[in-house]
Amino acid sequence: MKRIPKISDTEWEVMRVVWARHPITAAQIIAQLAETDPTWHPKTARTLLARLVRKQALDYEPQGRLYVYEPRVTERDCTAAASESFLERVFGGSLKPMLAHFVERKRLTRHDLRELSELLEKRGREKQGKPKEG
């Protein structure tokens, strides 16, 4: 299985831009970050890009004076790794207490609960080897 690097909160912001618009230059990344948050400093963004390259989350290709970035890991894989890490750290790896926490704190709408219920039913059918509906 491919090793997924640990990505900090600010690195996630950079990665989201790259995932959404790759291939993308450093200047385009910096402009996109500044558009969503004017406090982003170009030097900070370049430092994070270098760190993400070292972590093997990003790769780049020099094109003249420009660096064009591509992700080496998918958003889906990073989300899965971060979710597993969170679940393990905060809830001891158990999904039930996490779900109970969010349901009890009313962080889920009725629509969310209906979708979650449907997802759980579908997963239950798949575990039992029954054909999927819809």
* Residues 38 and 74 occupy one common structural domain: yes
Tens digits of per-residue pLDDT, 43-94?
Answer: 999 999 999 999 999 999 999 999 999 999 999 999 999 999 999 999 999 9
* Residues 8 and 56 occupy one common structural domain: yes
23 preceded by a cis bond (ω within 30 of 0): yes
**Sign of the dihedral through C-alpha 43, 11, 71, 34:** negative
CATH of residue 4: 1.10.10.10
Q: Strands 58-63, 24-25: parallel, antiparallel or unpaired by DSSP?
A: unpaired
* Residue 95 binned pLDDT confidence (cut-offs 50, 70, 90): confident
Tokens of 61: 């290709």
* Residues 37 and 83 occupy one common structural domain: yes
* Residues 112 and 46 occupy one common structural domain: no
Alpha carbons within 13 A on the beta-carbon side of 57 = 25
Q: In this predicted structure, what is the pLDDT of residue 131?
A: 58
CA angle 122, 76, 54 (to 5 degrees): 160
pTM of the model: 0.79
* Residues 14 and 66 occupy one common structural domain: yes
* Residues 20 and 49 occupy one common structural domain: yes
Tokens of 42: 């170009």
CA–CA separation, 90 and 33 (whole Å): 30
Q: In this predicted structure, what is the pLDDT of residue 7?
A: 95
CA–CA separation, 64 and 44 (whole Å): 22
Structural domain boundaries, residue 121: 94-134
Count how many domains the chain has: 2
* Residues 56 and 107 occupy one common structural domain: no
* Residues 101 and 86 occupy one common structural domain: no
* Residues 59 and 82 occupy one common structural domain: yes
* Residues 58 and 106 occupy one common structural domain: no
Tens digits of per-residue pLDDT, 2-36?
Answer: 789 999 999 999 999 999 999 999 999 999 999 99
